[in-house]
């Protein structure tokens, strides 16, 4: 049983940074109202752009057109920001990546010298509050003038995918344009959305992946304001798992509770009267879910879920008040993640580096099932994994792109096909992709006991 450690008080330095970040744009906007008639060239923009959600006071969500204009403005006006097209959906909508750093947008090589935080927003198109929080915070980071934010961005590259499922957002659906749940496609990579996210993770190697979602509460079993969860997959290395759990349970939950929200662990309905665990809804150890894929790829994965249903009579009478509360709780969680990335940069680097080295050592079992709260069945443990998996020409042709997007190394053979060794940084991912016993394998590779 996992026991929550006592929450340590938030460091004063971190608290000051959060306060500055939260107020920087409000101050800038207030000044802009006064100075607008005297505004000069946009090189040092006085009036940062506002989202459609902000302009409407929460009566509606930011539209796709407004998002495109908002990102174009931030890209043009802030030297810290670059907006990249990383894919196109089935219905032709753009998938964007926003890179934020100081003094300029981070490249993968420069990001590797510090911490990298990736925000993945709106994987489910009918869960918009996290997207609004992402747009707000990327703007705040882009325009803030204070020294604390500049120091933060000098050591931490922030990457944001503001809308990870544009087709679903446009339709108001959980799935993408084909009806596929993007958050169940981080192994097979069958969707344009899943492929784009995988390429970002491969190229930038984030230390933290913060995944923003929403949930429908069911009182009294599942009625918290904010729920969090870390990678439960048993193949997540110990140090990465420890940091991810610490981030979720102590930093993020601590911050949202300090802000007046209730919080809990996402995953099971629990009867508050008896403590009995009910229906499981989280796919705890499934490697195809982003927070678990994050752990397999040596990032501290974090799932944050804000409650959709109204909390008060005021919210029932005024839906905009409920929307504002949902976005505010997501903003609080984001600020806690930023604090954690800055204050624990050394610990994160140590944990992620050790996880990659472990793959090169090629030792230990690989788990095909189970989670940190559910022991695996005997048949779900490869106690003595093979040296690698051989793919014939047809198999390799079918999965070579997916292996490359994951960053899995394959050695092509002169006669066709390839050998995929386990001795590589993503060691545990290889059997999950290629072993016939795995639940979501891409193809059934032939186990090879001795690699030449």
- 129-175 pLDDT, tens digit per residue, is 999 999 999 999 999 999 999 999 999 999 999 999 999 999 999 99
pLDDT at 271: 73
Q: Is the pLDDT of residue 298 over 80?
A: yes
Q: Is the pLDDT of residue 275 over 80?
A: no
pLDDT at 8: 43
pLDDT at 38: 26
Quick one: which of 336, 345, 244 has its CA closest to 296?
244
User: φ and ψ at 382, to 5 degrees?
Assistant: -95, 95
CA 245 to chain centre: 14
What element of type H or E holds 281? none
Burial class (CB in 10 A: 0-12, 13-18, 19+), 76: exposed
Q: 12-354: what fold?
A: Aminopeptidase (3.40.630)
| Section 175-204 average pLDDT | 98
From 33-47, 77-91, 156-170, 341-355, the region with the lowest mean pLDDT: 33-47
Q: Is the pLDDT of residue 6 over 90?
A: no
Tell me if the pTM is above 0.75: yes
- Strand ranges (E), 171-321: 208-215, 226-229, 263-265, 268-270, 277-280, 300-307
CA 123 to chain centre: 10
* pLDDT-above-70 percentage for the chain: 88
User: φ and ψ at 225, to 5 degrees?
Assistant: -80, -40
Q: Is the pLDDT of residue 4 over 70?
A: no
More confident residue, 212 or 32: 212
pLDDT at 444: 98
Q: Is the pLDDT of residue 268 over 90?
A: no
pLDDT digit string, tens, across residues 342-374? 999 999 999 999 999 999 999 999 999 999 999
From CA 327, how far away is CA 38, in angstroms rounded? 33
Burial class (CB in 10 A: 0-12, 13-18, 19+), 327: buried
Question: Quick one: pLDDT band at residue 113, thresholds 50, 70, 90?
Answer: confident
Domain map (residue ranges) of the chain:
12-354, 385-448
**Do the beta carbons of residue 101 and residue 111 sit within 8 Å?**
yes
| Section 363-391 average pLDDT | 96
Q: Is the pLDDT of residue 432 over 80?
A: yes
More confident residue, 451 or 275: 451
Q: Is the pLDDT of residue 290 over 90?
A: yes
Going by their DSSP bridges, the two strands 226-229 and 300-307 should be labelled as antiparallel
């Amino acid at each position: 049983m996992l026991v929550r450690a006592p929450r340590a008080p938030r460091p004063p330095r971190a608290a000051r940074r959060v306060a500055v970040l939260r107020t920087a744009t409000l101050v800038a906007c207030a000044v802009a109202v006064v100075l607008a008639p005297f505004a000069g060239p946009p090189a040092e923009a006085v009036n940062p752009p506002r989202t459609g959600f902000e302009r409407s006071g929460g009566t509606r969500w930011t539209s796709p057109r407004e998002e495109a204009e908002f990102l174009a403005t931030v890209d043009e006006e802030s030297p810290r920001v670059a907006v990249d097209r990383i894919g196109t959906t089935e219905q032709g909508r753009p998938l964007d990546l926003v890179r934020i750093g100081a003094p300029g947008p981070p490249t993968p090589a420069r990001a590797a010298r510090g911490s990298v935080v990736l925000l993945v927003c709106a994987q489910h198109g009918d869960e918009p509050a996290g997207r609004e929080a992402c747009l707000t915070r990327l703007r705040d980071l882009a325009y803030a003038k204070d020294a604390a934010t500049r120091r933060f961005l000098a050591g931490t590259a922030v990457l944001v995918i503001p809308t990870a499922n544009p087709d679903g957002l446009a339709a108001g659906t959980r799935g993408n344009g084909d009806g596929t749940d993007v958050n169940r496609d981080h192994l097979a990579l069958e969707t344009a959305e899943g492929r784009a996210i995988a390429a970002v993770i491969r190229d930038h190697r984030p230390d933290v992946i913060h995944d923003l979602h929403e949930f429908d509460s069911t009182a009294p079993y599942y009625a918290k304001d904010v729920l969090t969860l870390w990678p439960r997959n048993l193949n997540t290395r110990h140090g990465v798992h420890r940091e991810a759990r610490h981030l979720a349970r102590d930093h993020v939950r601590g911050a949202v509770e300090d802000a007046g929200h209730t919080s809990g662990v996402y995953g099971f309905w629990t009867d508050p009267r008896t403590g009995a665990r009910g229906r499981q809804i989280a796919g705890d150890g499934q490697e195809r879910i982003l927070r678990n894929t994050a752990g397999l790829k040596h990032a501290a994965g974090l799932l944050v879920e804000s409650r959709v249903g109204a909390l008060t009579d005021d919210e029932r009478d005024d839906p905009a008040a409920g929307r504002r509360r949902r976005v505010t709780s997501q903003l609080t969680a984001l600020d806690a993640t930023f604090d954690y990335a800055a204050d624990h940069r050394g610990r994160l680097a140590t944990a992620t580096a050790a996880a990659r080295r472990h793959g090169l050592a090629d030792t230990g079992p690989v788990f095909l099932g189970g989670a940190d709260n559910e022991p695996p069945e005997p048949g779900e443990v490869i106690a003595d994994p093979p040296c690698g998996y051989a793919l014939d020409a047809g198999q390799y042709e079918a999965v070579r792109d997916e292996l490359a997007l994951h960053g899995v190394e394959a050695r092509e053979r002169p006669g066709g096909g390839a050998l995929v060794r386990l001795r590589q940084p993503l060691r545990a991912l290889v059997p999950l992709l290629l072993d016939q016993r795995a639940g979501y394998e891409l193809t059934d590779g032939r186990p090879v006991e001795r690699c030449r």
